[in-house]
Structure 1
């Protein structure tokens, strides 16, 4: 067990002990914590929440609904490593005592233990806001401020930074960073592509042999930081709506992925594209700045390929693919993509 959690375990035991003593000294009211603990343990958290609201509505004068009472119940479940139950109880405490910094601090602790770091950060930050109230006891303010700030430093440190690299977690629900984030230690150029992190609706246009342009497909393009925030991956899902263009001759939807990483020693990007479209793998080098990104490599059908991202804003971008069959002396534009951010 880490020193971080060992210290908190001692605090948990103290909280449970204190809440038990406080309940015992209040002879006029029954312990709502004991009632809820038995119900949740025997019948589940939903039954416990239902009982909580029923008791609060019909027996508010008979039971102790104080913040320490319910907080102690939450920590009983923390000590049993029943974190879903603890989170539910701490949420009830925040609902009942919305001005309590201690209630939010405890909820942050439960989320931290469960590994839901984004939610933990939000609750610790909320606790600090509430602690700014001049009516908060000075000793309480000092203790909770020290704890919340220490936890936030821990959560924001590079050691705690995590970004999923599993494809089935590509859109994993992370309230604060659903598409990952740039690692503070990564080359800043990583953000040239990382700024596209999110979900995009795309329209694909292709150039016919006649030289005319037609809309040939619609696509979803999903982007996310991977490899602990040092690289960027995207997933491309395209449905053809017009197969007249020679480049759109594959009669099935296209699913593909790019992995892109900046190489600071060489001041360039390297990208790999894999797709089911024609069962191809393509490698590209790229240079980037704040205005555009230019990729170059071998074209799947022979010759050279050049791909350019440009007109990049927070909510839109343009993309074009060009082909050269004379070693780069001249280029012919073959595909266009117009992207609009969904989130």
Structure 2
């Protein structure tokens, strides 16, 4: 093999190597272009994801919040400050949130909309009560678009079957409210146990 043919082969191999590396880099970028970045610190919704991935858009960013929980005896605890952070994850196909509380009781959730069942599934975790299996709530945005309501089966202390219902409401660019409450299966009986009110501090 003479030197000319050798040079041609080497250049051809180099071209294909560079092309493959470029293709791999483009593919990797395409798989992460909606992740949180310096330009978009809370990520972006992936345009190929279900439209519902934008349901939590009013919460994306960071808010200062006031959290109040109920004691077992029915009285309410003192309100505590917390920061609630939200971002798009999984290249804009899901949402993750994290709470930073002044008492150290941090927690968070992974939120995915499953198109096949047309529901949100919310998997919750906490530093105070680390679960071996993540509890899951499921639900949707209401038809009027004013609330997001999620449910998980929970039996009351008296044995009555019901749900622990989570509701986001009064959602806007300036903040939102949230309430966790036990309800019976018919949702006629309501017993709130946790309330949070949030004011936005950062969107981008």
Shared topology, TM-score over 0.5?
yes
Query: 2:204 aligned with 1:314, yes or no?
Result: no
Which residue does 2:7 correspond to in 1? none
Query: 2:142 aligned with 1:283, yes or no?
Result: no
Unaligned runs of 5+ in 1: 7-114, 116-153, 165-171, 241-252
Looking at structure 1, the residues matched to 62 and 180 of structure 2 have their Cα atoms a distance apart, in angstroms, of 21
Tell me, what secondary structure is at the counterpart of 1:194?
A: helix
Looking at structure 2, the residues matched to 180 and 277 of structure 1 have their Cα atoms a distance apart, in angstroms, of 28
Q: Where do 1:289-304 residues align within 5 Å?
A: 289=142, 290-299=145-154, 304=163
Q: Where do 1:302-341 residues align within 5 Å?
A: 304-324=163-183, 328-341=187-200
Looking at structure 2, the residues matched to 160 and 284 of structure 1 have their Cα atoms a distance apart, in angstroms, of 28
Which residue does 1:187 correspond to in 2? 50
Deviation at 1:4, TM superposition (A): 10
Query: Does the 8 Å CA contact 1:196/1:223 hold for their aligned counterparts?
Result: yes
Please give the per-residue CA displacement for 1:277-314, whole angstroms capped at 9, x wherever unaligned: 22233210011143110010034986520010000001
Query: 2:88 aligned with 1:225, yes or no?
Result: yes
Which residue does 1:37 correspond to in 2? none
More contact order relative to length (CA 8 Å, sep ≥ 6): 2
Please give the per-residue CA displacement for 1:180-214, whole angstroms capped at 9, x wherever unaligned: 00001011111111331111111101235676545
Judged with a 3 Å threshold, the aligned counterparts in structure 2 of structure 1 residues 296 and 334 are, in CA distance, closer, same or farther, namely same
Looking at structure 2, the residues matched to 341 and 3 of structure 1 have their Cα atoms a distance apart, in angstroms, of 45
Which residue does 2:66 correspond to in 1? 203
Which structure has the highest strand share of the two?
2
Which residue does 2:13 correspond to in 1? none
Looking at structure 1, the residues matched to 97 and 121 of structure 2 have their Cα atoms a distance apart, in angstroms, of 14
Judged with a 3 Å threshold, the aligned counterparts in structure 2 of structure 1 residues 291 and 5 are, in CA distance, closer, same or farther, namely same
Looking at structure 2, the residues matched to 178 and 197 of structure 1 have their Cα atoms a distance apart, in angstroms, of 10
Tell me, what secondary structure is at the counterpart of 1:181?
A: coil
101, 119, 129: which is aligned to 1:238? 101
Number of aligned residues = 174
Query: 2:122 aligned with 1:271, yes or no?
Result: yes
Query: Does the 8 Å CA contact 1:163/1:181 hold for their aligned counterparts?
Result: yes
Query: Does the 8 Å CA contact 2:178/2:197 hold for their aligned counterparts?
Result: yes
Tell me, what secondary structure is at the counterpart of 2:84?
A: strand
Question: Whose radius of gyration is greater, 1 or 2?
Answer: 1
Judged with a 3 Å threshold, the aligned counterparts in structure 2 of structure 1 residues 263 and 5 are, in CA distance, closer, same or farther, namely closer
Please give the per-residue CA displacement for 1:135-174, whole angstroms capped at 9, x wherever unaligned: xxxxxxxxxxxxxxxxxxx9xxx9365244xxxxxxx6x3
Q: Where do 1:124-163 residues align within 5 Å?
A: 159=30, 161-163=32-34
Tell me, what secondary structure is at the counterpart of 2:91?
A: helix
Which structure has the highest helix share of the two?
1
In angstroms, what is the RMSD of aligned CA positions? 3.0
Say which is worse superposed, 197-206 or 318-327, in terms of deviation: 318-327
Judged with a 3 Å threshold, the aligned counterparts in structure 2 of structure 1 residues 191 and 339 are, in CA distance, closer, same or farther, namely same
Which residue does 1:169 correspond to in 2? none
